[in-house]
Structure 1
């Protein structure tokens, strides 16, 4: 009940209702798109490696463009940047849908278009996240951050549930077309937000955009809390998140099933993430959040080991729920810490680094796992990655007191 009250308070604000309504619409389309494109790549190639490459092409542009996008978000109009980047994502999805519907799609063209979509998403993420403190009062910011993750994971449940029967009946292209329509709706509603000018821009533009980008990286790296927690998250994402990016090979090779099972697993991730997110939102406090961020990766590693080791789809579904829950606890915790501990003038750049981690690191993990899966099978490379992730968790626990002291203390001047 505490969690529902916290979320209701965040949603009592007009801006939040518009923002999260648009987010739910767009992200539902996004998850339909991901299921459809992942299955399309598997149909075109029947290769775990190429499915991993497609995921890599969607997520990896964050390596180059997220730091740049963060610097832009700190000097540009964040509302306008959000609207333009969402429009670009929708247009890209419309092109993919048209090519698939016309029978003109090839794996090479798909890779190029996924790169283009990934670039647009790299700009959308820091712009949207940087707007959040302007949507609700500061007291409601932790609830808004939790609600942002919950919205993403509700969409993660709804999207696959809609995509699976649609793909089975009509094929891939209608699911991708829905994503184009969803982002068109999100783009059209963005101008309805009423955000103070001070929250729409981080600071006045300086002479060098590249210099600001470098300053953001240096700021995060030198921060006694942000640097270690972001590095911890990056390594954990490379080792563990790739599994969720290349699900089709697991579905067919380990469980011997088809697109319905793929949608079921993706929805299970969303259910776990939603339930865990409600629990995190119910806390309503910053103290202890760093510990949750570290332990979340440990729990994700254990659940991933169970997922890879079993041949039972029922057990796999349970593990998927636990994986979604653990990933949600970690993600909400790190994002809350980043929002709270960052200097306002650096917020866009810090959140762009978080966006880089959540997009590029799973992409690299998917590529490595897909390549290893072609040689050794999927099970053993996954279990090796889990073992390495537990070593990373041990490092995080050793650094926990110092990280928590830097991340959970109220920033000076607030």
Structure 2
């Protein structure tokens, strides 16, 4: 496994700038995510409120992502990305300001979470659609997608680790301030890029018609539709286990903010290891098979985590779950990006983002509500088993025929 092969996409200047800026910014993003969850749990000690915060932060992706995809196909994707990054920076700054001033107002935190969700619906869709524009040789696109995932998971390791230290020493407000400052890096990297002037396609139909075109495209492409649907199901049933991580850290393992940060760090470590493996894969691998193996690994590991009574063992299963989650996301993204027609790219990516982010709020709300009644351990066990069953059905379905 040669390093030149793993990092071959970094030879492109635009992708290198994008990779560097996003890596710094995402460390702050993961710090903010961990700090918000811990702060909400510390203030309310309510699994339902934790689920509600996750719901509000991601529900706009469910509603707006397909629309954002159609919008991005008609406008300059780069400008959409730049403006969404500025908006995210302002949202993070507002959150830092109210907490540093000691105004722990839960309605304000909920509103800011919802605002970030709206921004992310457009940001993620434009960002995913633009990766292909940063790569000159499209044969390197799978590698670029895997490196992008590697970057996310490197930040997922470093962000919670740094946040755990800052939370223990200075509190949530400093975490939010650091997140605000990290956006400077990504804005500078975007301004240094050299991209040809975008010439958006001319459309006579409305954006909503573009939304419907994306749906019709998926309806006629069986395998693309099935992998996106599988990702959506996993994000409803299995991924929301992380919403209850503060409950496990404090009530199950009698820990503190540092214990909570270990869950994020171990998840990121497992995901990073798998991301490096995915980056080294040669073209032509059976991505549908990888999706099945990854989905089963993710669901079974989360189930084992929920049943574990030992913290070290729980952290091991969390790392394994992170690897399974990472492999499924990267393989699904690569499959969609390499099979969709370019004219439909943003519209289909919009549906992918809806499955990737938009279904999480539904899962978070369901998970938080059930956990309020049954407890965190029983909820995660039941949902992860249901997820494993769904992956098995997906495997049977995809073997039934190809497009």
TM-score class, shorter:
over 0.9
Counterpart of 2:390 in structure 1 is 392
Q: Deviations over 1:93-145 (max 9, x none)?
A: 10011001112231111111100011101111111111111111101101000
2:229 to 205, 216, 231: 231
Counterpart of 2:334 in structure 1 is 336
Q: Deviations over 1:343-402 (max 9, x none)?
A: 101111111212112212222212111111111111112111122112211211112235
Normalized against structure 1, the TM-score is what?
0.94
In structure 1, list runs of 5 or more residues that go unmatched.
407-414
**Closer, same or farther: CA 372–211 of 1 in aligned 2, 3 Å:** same
Counterpart of 2:253 in structure 1 is 255
Cα contact 1:202–1:344 (8 A) shared by 2:
no
SS of 1:67's partner is helix
Counterpart of 1:19 in structure 2 is 18
Alignment of structure 1 residues 9-158 onto 2, 5 Å: 9-136=8-135, 137-158=137-158
Cα contact 2:244–2:376 (8 A) shared by 1:
no
Q: Deviations over 1:151-182 (max 9, x none)?
A: 00000001111111111111101101111111
Cα contact 1:304–1:323 (8 A) shared by 2:
yes
Counterpart of 1:178 in structure 2 is 178
In structure 2, list runs of 5 or more residues that go unmatched.
none
1:303 deviates by: 0.2
CA distance in 2, matches of 1:324, 1:29: 19
**Closer, same or farther: CA 202–237 of 1 in aligned 2, 3 Å:** farther
1:201 deviates by: 5.3
CA distance in 2, matches of 1:7, 1:69: 32
1:8 deviates by: 2.2
Counterpart of 1:412 in structure 2 is none
Counterpart of 2:204 in structure 1 is 206
Farther-moved stretch of structure 1 (282-291 vs 343-352)? 282-291
Cα contact 1:145–1:332 (8 A) shared by 2:
yes
Normalized against structure 2, the TM-score is what?
0.96
CA distance in 2, matches of 1:13, 1:139: 13
SS of 1:257's partner is coil
Farther-moved stretch of structure 1 (183-192 vs 330-339)? 183-192
Counterpart of 2:354 in structure 1 is 356
CA distance in 2, matches of 1:311, 1:255: 8
CA distance in 1, matches of 2:154, 2:247: 24
Cα contact 2:34–2:261 (8 A) shared by 1:
yes
Q: Deviations over 1:239-270 (max 9, x none)?
A: 10001133111211221111101111101011
1:203 deviates by: 2.1
Farther-moved stretch of structure 1 (394-403 vs 178-187)? 394-403
Cα contact 1:268–1:321 (8 A) shared by 2:
yes
1:89 deviates by: 0.7
Cα contact 2:300–2:385 (8 A) shared by 1:
no
CA distance in 2, matches of 1:84, 1:249: 36
CA distance in 2, matches of 1:386, 1:33: 26
CA distance in 1, matches of 2:142, 2:194: 20
Cα contact 1:242–1:364 (8 A) shared by 2:
no
**Closer, same or farther: CA 313–202 of 1 in aligned 2, 3 Å:** farther
**Closer, same or farther: CA 293–104 of 1 in aligned 2, 3 Å:** same
Give the count of matched residue pairs. 402
Counterpart of 1:274 in structure 2 is 272
Counterpart of 2:239 in structure 1 is 241
Structure 1 residue ranges (4+ consecutive) displaced by more than 3 angstroms after TM superposition:
none
